[in-house]
Amino acid sequence: LQEQSDEHEHDGRPAWNSKLQYILAQVGFSVGLGNVWRFPYLCQKNGGGAYLVPYFILLILIGIPLFFLELAVGQRIRRGSIGVWNYVYPRLGGIGVSSLMVCGFVGLYYNVIIGWSIFYFFQSFQYPLPWSECPIRRNGIVEPECEKSSATTYFWYRETLNITSTIADSGGLNWRMTLSLLAAWIIVCLAVIKGIQSSGKVMYFSSLFPYVVLFCFLVRGMFLKGAVDGIAHMFTPKLEIMLEPQVWREAATQVFFALGLGFGGVIAFSSYNKRDNNCHFDALLVSVINFVTSILATLVVFAVLGFKANVMNEKCVVENAEKILGYLNSNVLSQDLIPPHVNFSHLTSSDYAEMYGVIKIVKEDSFAQLGLEPCLLEDELNKAVQGTGLAFIAFTEAMTHFPASPFWSVMFFFMLINLGLGSMIGTMTGITTPILDTFKIRKEVLTVGCCIVAFLCGLLFVQRSGNYFVTMFDDYSAGLPLTTVVILENVSVAWIYGTKRFMQDLEDMLGFRPYSVYFYLWKYVSPVCLLILIFASVVEMAISPPGYNAWVQDLAMERFQSYPPWALAMCFSLIVVAMLPLPLVFIARHFNWLPDGSNKLSVSYRKSLAKEASTLEDETRFILGKNPSEAPSPMPSHRVYLGPGSTSPVELITNSTSISGYGSGYQTNPTPPKSES
């Protein structure tokens, strides 16, 4: 225990105040907006309850093992993403830089979504809600764009985004969204300004509050008419869809993003842990919490969408019944076609369906001219919505029909802000931790600097055409680079560093040997799954034309448009820039253009081992670092990686070698260790 406390004294690294704070931080980072607006959509699109099967299988094959791997390397090496991968295999040090680049790109647009949520949050403090009905012009005419679409769609595209019709037309800055983005960056900056000391405290609220809201919505949703229809629709398994490759690809991608793999946030958070922390338990716990949250959010979304489908279906029945009455009065239709028990003043969906069926059979030739709709609940439920379409259009529309709608709207958007904030804290930590480990910069100065630069870059997304750029960054900046980063993480630990060595490391660190199934998952299963995923992603990008859904004001509807050449170049430059550090660092280290002390360390150490006739196992133990109490080592294992500015150990040790110029070196002792007897 004394040795353990010395470790924190010497490396000067901050530590979590409690285990709960750390778990909440990991949960807050992994549970984000995707759980609420992407997972339910994928469920609906990919076979309802049947989708949970491939998702759960891939969570076990890819998700948990790789999440455990990231937690373990961060905790073992006690560095951010750059330091960790420089330690494991310096030539693949570019992994950490690529992680940082992806974090930067994602953070830029992710905070814009928090900005939108802040705008809606403040707009919710009024009754009736501003998106509950269409605005009326001075001459008494309803706004045509709103009439052609819907009140919530109009409020989103015109009042909130004031969107242009193409990505080429920037339309200038939208000042309301600019202020919202500024507010979002100020909140994020205040949350992370003191590192884990401030963000850890914020996490108590931002990680737990969304669960309170989800449970409130679930309980409220269950009492809404049609909620059961929505949930039944969601959980009805369509088993034939489950065998399609597309379903598995989307499930793998969702597992990947849900746990925040490859971003560096997971590694950064775990690097502040004590070295004997049980990270295997943490990996299982956070993965299970994430999965359960996704199911909880899906229940809430489908309960509310079931209610909305019911409302829209009743509206459809009323509108079409009025058409039928008009045809009856003008003798276009005969009264004989109407079943005797049908009462137009209390018309049910089943009555309308029966009436519709009779008219369709009898008036087969002229039926199309009547313009009647079938008004099926199933059709409404099949209208799949995701992302902003779910949060800012479908869900907001459903909430306008709630009793006390402003209260529920305030709660919903406050939940979105907190979900986004938890993920943004992890993303920012993934950026700041590696930089702080590398350079001697004050934490506060770096955080404020990052937030100012990010806000200025984020102005791209608060132009009137900004939503199109959010879509572009979402589609291109993370997917392929992130998958590449994770497969290289996997390969560098399992194949270069060695799975057996890593398992031994874990045993020394945890006090028990992890299940041998991890050996096979890390070495064979995960890399193969990731290779298939990369191949599928490349094929998908090649097949589907790159483009975006533009809002056409005159038609009041979305229309797919291809990217112009400059935007296409921007899409691919996002992928290239994020992946460029990987080959650059590899080449630079291969030709010794970039300082790298790891080779010198291993050579000098081998010489000392030869003199002492040590075994190869001793060398491995030195490189990996045994627990202080177990094996003598040229340096105390709790100083494997000294923090920037830790000068006292350097004074004690005459021969110090800095690895790759990262300001924190492996220390070598001039006196070789005595071999174990």
612 CB contacts (<8 Å, ≥6 apart)?
672, 673, 674, 675
Read out DSSP for 10-77? HH-----S-HHHHHHHHHHHHS-HHHHHTHHHHHHHTTGGGGHHHHHHHIIIIIHHHHHHHHHHHHHH
Supply the pTM of this predicted model.
0.78
* 488 marked as binding residue: no
Q: Which pLDDT belongs to residue 596?
A: 60
pLDDT reported for residue 453: 93
Q: Are 29 and 426 in contact (CB under 8 A)?
A: yes
Q: Is 17 annotated as a binding residue?
A: no
Give the integer Cα–Cα distance in Å for 455 and 650: 40
pLDDT at 375: 81
Q: Using alpha carbons only, how large is the chain's radius of gyration in Å?
A: 29
pLDDT value for 580: 92
Tell me the C-alpha distance between 517 and 239, whole Å: 29
pLDDT of residue 286: 92
Sign of the dihedral defined by the CA atoms of residues 477, 102, 22, 521, in that order:
positive
- How far apart are alpha carbons 215 and 198 in whole angstroms? 27
Q: Where are the beta strands (DSSP E) in 363-488?
A: none
Q: Check: CB of residue 324 under 8 Å from CB of residue 375.
A: no
Residue 259 labeled ligand binder: no
- 3 state DSSP class of 611: helix
Question: Which tokens sit at 266?
Answer: 């997971």
- Distance from C-alpha of 362 to C-alpha of 380, rounded to nearest angstrom: 26
Indicate the DSSP class of residue 577.
H
β-partners of residue 552 are 557
Coil, helix or strand at residue 666: strand
Ligand-binding annotation for 28, yes or no, is yes
The answer to whether 579 and 484 are in contact (CB under 8 A) is yes
- What is the C-alpha to C-alpha distance for residues 146 and 165, in angstroms, rounded to an integer? 16
Q: Is 170 annotated as a binding residue?
A: no
Distance between CA atoms of residues 216 and 15, nearest Å: 34
How far apart CA 404 and CA 127 sit, in angstroms, is: 9
Q: What is the distance between the alpha carbons of residues 100 and 84, in angstroms, rounded to a whole number?
A: 13
Any binding-site annotation on 423?
yes
Please, what is the end-to-end C-alpha distance for the chain in angstroms? 25
The answer for residues whose C-beta is within 8 angstroms of residue 45's C-beta and 6 or more apart is 250, 384
Spans in the chain with pLDDT lower than 50:
1-10, 597-620, 622-677
Contact 493, 87 (CB under 8 A): no
Give the count of alpha carbons within 13 A of 281, CB side only: 10
Of 385, 354, 303, the C-alpha closest to 44 is 385
Rounded CA-CA distance 509/32 in Å is 30
* Cα gap 512→287, rounded to integer Å: 21
Contact 170, 463 (CB under 8 A): yes
Q: What's the pLDDT score for residue 671?
A: 37
Going by C-beta distance under 8 Å and a sequence separation of 6 or more, which residues neighbour residue 127?
Answer: 405, 406
Nearest to 467 by CA among 246, 80, 171: 171
Query: DSSP for 468-480?
Result: HHHHHHHHHTSHH
Q: Cα-Cα-Cα-Cα dihedral of 307, 311, 313, 319, to 10°? A: 180
CB distance 585 to 488 below 8 Å: no
Q: What are phi and psi of 272, to 5 degrees?
A: -95, 10
